[in-house]
Structure 1
């Protein structure tokens, strides 16, 4: 039985990253049920329960080294691991795992990585040095490929695929409806259902702008607003802060931590999704829900361009009038947008699964078959 070790941002309660791991496990199991997967996690017990795989604590050096030693293939990813905006320690940590794995003679792959922004010179040098040691790289967008090349990663083949979460499937309707019932959310009410996904990111007057936009939509279109937290309780608390600033109080919020498949189902029941969180937007795209993105990070902008959906721009430039205008336009074009997203979904799901196909090829036949771009 072949063993794969996965290193990523797992066990922190972030639904986007858990969706990545869940979809990775699904993809591998579909291709080869004889694969044994282990993850490095901040909460191993939770990871084992949620994903049905083995896990060890990501900061226990003895367990980490043992897990690397036992693996036939080490995957770094998926997700935005190679960036130093949210933490200056992320890049050194993830690249140390990769470095150790290569020194121990393991096959290593950057798996569906999102790359950048990278601001610190030390981190730029680390990426160039360690990146050229790995056997294979897949990235989730063209910008990430360009970033790696600009940073000096030249040796391994770089494939542009898609975020692994595009391979995820939602829960059944019975499970999904029970979530709505618990939160007293009635989607059969008159008016459009608009999902809002926010995260803590104190730039300008973001909270005030989103609150005023929600008020405008309720008054102008009689919409039903549902706040959908992707990381609990951080996003839930941020949602409450925005709700406090709103004049209209008939707003719903998901007040519990939901799993990725549950959140995918909920996002799929919206008529429009306006959000900051990348994976809320990805969930909407999977389910054919028109999007309006709030680009707190370049990865959001890159994704929206790829799926042909509008962006309200960066948060520091966010204005109520322009956001409302964009949402109004998205409401008018929602049927056209939904068709376009559903047409795109098949391609993105294939590319998401291609990450696993390439990983298994590497595991089976070495990396000599891969040539440079």
Structure 2
């Protein structure tokens, strides 16, 4: 029986990445039940060969992502390696991480496995990163990008062999709970701002949070990654804010969403969750994926170096707070368009897997 190996930044406690893992495992459970699924994980508490039971009856094996020697022994001609979402082909945070993913793709190719990359954010890549990544990405049968910037990055790198596809963030197709009804927005007496934090010392971040707390009053720090929780607690104590909400599952976010008027986020999937809840959002940070998503949603996104950061964010917040019902309606309309695109992306992915496996 052919095996499907699914990889991403899985097993590290980031809510968005764990949702991506669940999303793709469910696709294989539903559409490709005859294939054995192996998920590569960084979870130190799981051993290669362990079985995991997901929602909806999904059962799959896990494998230690770092043991490339053993993964090579597990792979065989006719198998399929799938990159399921994320921003893993970049070298801003780590050159070693990029080399790992490229080594994984080369390993699969040498073992005769086909490669499909779906829902990918490509870059940023240095000149060195582009040079080492181009020939390896050319080994893929298909690459689906979640934004125009990623697709252009591949074009500038002169990656030519795979079939390209322009999509959206895969979690637009995730079966989240329904968003809050509009009447809950009208009942809010005072605006409440949710701030999804990413760990990292930043004086301008501190200044922004102090300003927002002073001007708008209700400011709530939120984390979506376990790695961000210690920093969020320290920052809340330092600035005299209430204890942060440490969210580890999407249902909790959706349960809390009616209490918020707007969400500011340093994390891509924080913006995605806000949009899926029909909450207006504002992006913060230099990461291109934040700016690409905000562009798709017609939201503002600011880097910490922007000279007009404080004035711009406060002006955007005042506009939302002045007419929250209209702001939510704009999000609802755009979210419906994005969700429809997410369904189309899923069908594209299914078609690619079917085409590859049919020829194995």
TM-score category (smaller protein): 0.7 to 0.9
- Please state how far the C-alpha of 1:189 moved relative to its aligned partner: 7.5
The answer for the alignment partner of 1:10 in structure 2 is 10
Change (3 A) 1:9 1:172: same
Counterpart contact for 2:105–2:115, Cα < 8 Å: yes
Q: 2:52 aligns with which of 48, 54, 59?
A: 48
3-state secondary structure, aligned to 2:63: strand
Distance in 2 between the 1:271 and 1:102 partners?
A: 48
| Count of residue correspondences | 345
Question: How far off its partner does 1:192 sit?
Answer: 2.7
| Offset from partner CA, 1:51-79 (integer Å, 9 cap, x none) | 65321111112432244338732112311
- 2:288 maps to 298
Q: Is the 8 A contact 2:106 2:136 kept in 1?
A: yes
Matches within 5 A, 1:71-86: 72-86=79-93
1:264 positional shift: 4.6
Residues 49 and 172 (structure 1), Cα distance of their counterparts in 2 relative to 1, 3 Å cut: farther
Q: What does residue 133 of structure 2 align with? A: 127
Deviation at residue 368 of structure 1 after TM alignment: 11
Q: Is the 8 A contact 2:77 2:111 kept in 1?
A: no
One of 223, 230, 239 as aligned partner of 1:229: 223
| Alignment match of 1:314 (pick from 275, 293, 303) | 303
Q: CA deviation at 1:202?
A: 3.3
Q: Map of 1:336-355 to 2, 5 A cutoff?
A: 336-355=326-345
Please report how far the alpha carbon of residue 217 of structure 1 lies from its aligned counterpart in structure 2 after TM superposition. Answer: 1.0
Structure 1 equivalent of residue 245 of structure 2:
254
User: Structure 1: which 5+ residue stretches go unaligned?
Assistant: 177-187, 219-223
How far is the alpha carbon of 1:171 from its aligned partner? 5.7
Question: How many Å apart are 1:21 and its aligned residue?
Answer: 1.3
Instruction: Determine the structure 2 residue equivalent to 1:191.
Output: 190
Where do residues 175-186 of structure 1 align in structure 2 (5 Å cutoff)? none
Name the CA distance, whole Å, in 2 between partners of 1:270 and 1:75. Answer: 37
TM-score, normalising length from structure 2? 0.85
* Change in 2 beyond 3 A, CA 1:44/1:31: farther
Please state if 1:242 is matched with 2:256.
no
Residue 336 (structure 1) shift: 2.5
2:256 & 2:61 partners in 1: Cα distance?
Answer: 28
Quote the offset at 1:190 in angstroms.
4.1
Deviation at 1:136, TM superposition (A): 0.4
Q: 1:293 to 1:131 in 2, by over 3 A?
A: same
> Residue 196 of structure 1 contacts residue 228 of structure 1 at CA under 8 Å; is this kept in 2?
yes
Q: Tell me which residue corresponds to 2:274.
A: 284
Cα distance change, pair 158–44 in 1 and its aligned pair in 2 (3 A): farther
Instruction: Give, in whole Å, the separation in 2 of the partners of 1:296 and 1:66.
Output: 40
Q: Residue 33 and residue 354 in structure 1: after superposition, are their counterparts in 2 closer, same or farther (change >3 A)? A: farther
**Aligned 8 A contact 1:13 1:231 in 2:** yes
Shift of 1:194: 2.1
Contact preservation (8 Å) 1:82, 1:115: yes
SS of the residue corresponding to residue 272 of structure 2 reads helix
SS in 2 for 1:226: strand
User: Does the 8 Å CA contact 1:268/1:284 hold for their aligned counterparts?
Assistant: no
Query: Per-residue displacement from partner, 1:67-123 (whole Å, max 9, x unpaired)?
Result: 43387321123110111111111211111111111122212111111011112x332
Distance 2:33 2:191 in 1: 42
Give the drift of 1:314.
0.5
Q: How many angstroms does 1:239 deviate by?
A: 2.2
The structural deviation recorded for 1:150 is 0.6
